[in-house]
Amino acid sequence: MLGTSLKRYSWLIFLVGIAASVYTQADEALYQQRCAACHGASGEGNEAMKAPSIAAMSQAYLERQLRHFRDGQRGTHTEDTAGQTMRAIALPLTDKMIATVSAYLSGLPEPVVITEKEFAGFRGRGLYSGCASCHGAGGEGYPDLGAPKLTQQYGWYLRAQIENFRKGLRGTHKEDERGQQMRLMAEGIHSDADVDTLIKHITGLGVK
């Protein structure tokens, strides 16, 4: 019985298999055509383009950022040149393309872009304890709170974003609730020296 029904449905299973692989290939093609030139073939980012590492981030975070760039909640400030670059890319994306490319990226392995820990000491740990409730003790992120992972992200990008939040280039739009939450946290960092220490601590979190 089981044998015959398996045989009967095997062609269907075969077709579903093909459809699934075509679908993934289409996701990959979308990424390679529109994103890889700046973010790298595996989503590892590229400092020369000011493009962060984006593979293995949560799908919901990626989708929100892409919608925000497209719809004008991020990347519109005149001083935010990197954000404006990304906004120009996001403008023609449909909701479906955003969902597809975000699913593809979130399923990729986390790229290894940081290989050495810098010593940030007790001060680093102390400062980061104010971030851990949302971003996780190991910087792994907390999807339910909308807080992205911070591991294996370049120090120059983390610094740029913390500065963007502190200067009001990100997280000021009234429909950007998550950004506003993070902006309050960034405003609570008291000095540039503390920003340096925090970045040292955070970049070390994802080093195995």
Which residues sit at the interface with ligand HEC, rule CB under 6 A? 34-35, 37-39, 49-52, 54, 62, 64-66, 82-83, 85-86, 89, 101, 130-131, 133-135, 145-148, 150, 158, 160-162, 178-179, 181-182, 185, 189, 198
Nearer to ligand HEC, 101 or 113 (CB): 101
Q: Minimal distance in Å, beta carbon 115 to ligand HEC?
A: 20
Biggest CA-to-CA distance, the chain: 73
Rank residues 16 and 184 by Cβ distance to ligand HEC and give the closer one.
184
Q: Minimal distance in Å, beta carbon 208 to ligand HEC?
A: 20
- Min. distance of Cβ 2 from ligand HEC in angstroms? 44
Residue closer to ligand HEC (CB basis): 10 or 175: 175
CB of 81 to ligand HEC, least distance (A): 8
The nearer residue to ligand HEC, 16 or 41, going by C-beta atoms, is 41
- Contacts made by residues 191-195, CB under 8 angstroms, sequence distance 24+: 194/127, 195/159, 195/162, 195/163
70 contacts 98 by C-beta, under 8 angstroms: yes
Report CA dihedral (39, 53, 109, 149) to the nearest 10 degrees: -150
By C-beta, is 6 or 175 nearer to ligand HEC?
A: 175
In the complex, minimum distance from the CB of residue 19 to ligand HEC, in angstroms, rounded to a whole number: 23
60, 149 contact by CB (below 8 A): no
Q: What are phi and psi of 119, to 5 degrees?
A: -85, 115
12's CB contacts (< 8 A; 6+ apart) are none
Nearer to ligand HEC, 8 or 190 (CB): 190
Tell me the closest approach of the beta carbon of residue 12 to ligand HEC, in angstroms. Answer: 33
- Residue closest to 72 by CA, chosen among 61, 83, 59: 83
Q: What is the DSSP string of 103-135?
A: HHHHTSPPP---------HHHHHHHHHHHHHHH
